[in-house]
Amino acid sequence: MSERLGWSFRGAVGASIPFICALIGVIVSNIPVSLFGTLVPPPMFGLMPIYFWCLVRPDLMPPFAVFIIGVLQDLLGGGAAGVWTLSFVAAYAIVDRERDSFAGLAGVGAILGFGAAMLVAGASAYFITAIYYWHMPPVAPIMVEIAVSVIFYIPVALILGVIHRRLVGPLRGDF
Amino acid sequence: MPNGSMRYTRGRGNAQLPLAIVAVLAVVLVLVGKAQSSLFDRARASFTDWTRPALEWVSAPFDTVSAWFDGIGDIFVVYQENQRLKLENARLRQWQSAALLLDERLKRYQLLLNAVPDPAINARTARVIGRASHPFLDTMILDAGKEQGIKPGQAVVDARGMIGRIFLSGQRTSWVLLLTDLNSRIPVSIHPGNIQAIMAGDNTPTPTLETLATTTPPKAGDQVVTSGDGGLIPPGIPVGVLVASGHGLRVALLADAAASQDVRIVDFKLPPEQPPAPSPNDLPATAAGLKPEPPAPPPEVQEPQGPAAQTPATTATPKPVTPTPAHAAPKAPQPGADDEDDTQD
């Protein structure tokens, strides 16, 4: 019956995997444990699935999913409310708008593409925080955050690619 | 990581309206968060309480590995470190003797001056179950909350000095705003000179000094302690040492928040300062040379029930006051009268 209505359980599971990946990324980013002490900030794992599926299958990463991921990032991160939510939405908007340019990238270009998205998110967060507290925060920590996130995107993108090919595609059945 | 190999085409216009709605919602969230931060804080505290067992479980191996990594470097300098610690120990013993002597002397001076004694400070020990260093937030999570009497604003110290203060407390966990955090502002005092300032974090390891209220500039090497202004943080907690940085000074913190495992949360209850009770000499009639009227008899009070309730009525009975001459010299403290003062105080 549900198949005839155009809905299947497998398809729904497949469609929710990108969102779940992003939620897991946010949780991993915000586990308050660091092997490197407090010298290196945790990578922004939550933004990686957003960027990846915004290019690959934007229908699986809708704006409302990005909003919820951002809210969770703000909730777990401990910072000011809404800062990363708005930053993720801003990055999503830019990537979605320039999707044709970003989607054509491969290899190092894809990493730089994520770097651009991360730069948009970081810059947005920086300026929102500056307005929020009416005080210019130092630039170095957010630059380190961007750099660490870009470096970690390399292995994460490979993992996301595998997840997309092995899980999302077969479950959706339209890959 | 090919972006284009799995490219999917979607009409961009489909996403424009939801994106606009989400953007508006995000802006509203920022504004609501600014206006009503307690809503978000409560949710955050509840979530941390809920995940506390998991945090403890996850952080234990990480702490072990982190300590192991820290220890690797120490292996190669064990001998030098041992020699250095022996010297430091000997020097600290000398300082301990001097400090005990000075402490005794300070107490005697306080008695002589009838100074207000320092308020009692309680402290609770808590374990660090999480640390987070984000671009705009430096924090740690402790395994003690409201159930243990932890409240926002209380100072958090380790064996070396102040680490930060509680900014959010759940039922069984609490969040610490580190001194290095962007939002950290505490009143400090710089010694020597007792220069008052505000120490402000900027997400760097060495906070800055703001609002230096002096014409005598401090110099590198001066000690920074909490000043206690505002009555929230106890005075005299060691914070750090001034170091030169560029054209200004920064504070190198004594405490190492990244290495602290167990911390103490200082419960500082500064009692409101009470003005001294007026003596008969302070009364206008006495000061004018007039004989003060005898106090009115107390109103008839019904006999209270129970022996405990009788005591206040007895002590509340006023006694006639004999005015003393205004020019009478106060009694000078006599040598050897300290013991008597001790018992009185």
pLDDT reported for residue A87: 92
The CATH architecture one would assign to domain A9-172 is: Orthogonal Bundle (1.10)
CB pair distance less than 8 Å for A67 and B22: yes
Domains of chain A, by residue range, sit at 9-172
Q: pLDDT by residue (tens digit) across B42-85?
A: 887 788 778 777 777 777 777 777 677 767 767 778 888 888 89
pLDDT reported for residue B109: 83
**Mean pLDDT per 10-residue interval, chain B, length 345 residues:** 48 66 88 80 79 74 71 77 89 88 84 70 78 77 82 83 85 85 84 81 81 71 81 80 81 80 76 59 62 58 44 39 41 41 38
Q: pLDDT by residue (tens digit) across A95-132?
A: 888 777 777 777 777 788 888 889 999 999 999 988 88
Determine the Cα–Cα distance for residues B75 and B81; give it in Å rounded to an integer.
Answer: 10
Partners of residue A122 in chain B, C-beta under 8 Å: 135
Q: pLDDT by residue (tens digit) across B317-339?
A: 344 444 444 444 444 444 444 44
Partners of residue B55 in chain A, C-beta under 8 Å: 31-33
pLDDT reported for residue A44: 87
**Nearest-CA distance from B64 to chain A in Å?**
10
CB B225 within 8 A of CB B189: yes
Instruction: Pick the range with the lowest mean pLDDT from A64-78, A131-145, B305-319.
Output: B305-319
Confidence category of residue A88, pLDDT binned at 50, 70, 90: very high
pLDDT reported for residue B14: 57
pLDDT reported for residue A119: 92
ipTM: 0.83
CB pair distance less than 8 Å for B130 and A32: yes
Which of A35, A75, A161 is facing B1, going by the closest CB pair?
Answer: A161
How far is CA A36 from its chain centroid? 23
In terms of pLDDT, which residue wins out, A61 or B9? Answer: A61
Domains of chain B: 118-268 (2.40.10.340)
- pLDDT at residue A147 tops 80: yes
Partners of residue A30 in chain B, C-beta under 8 Å: 132
- pLDDT at residue A23 tops 50: yes
The whole-number average pLDDT for the span A24-42 is 73
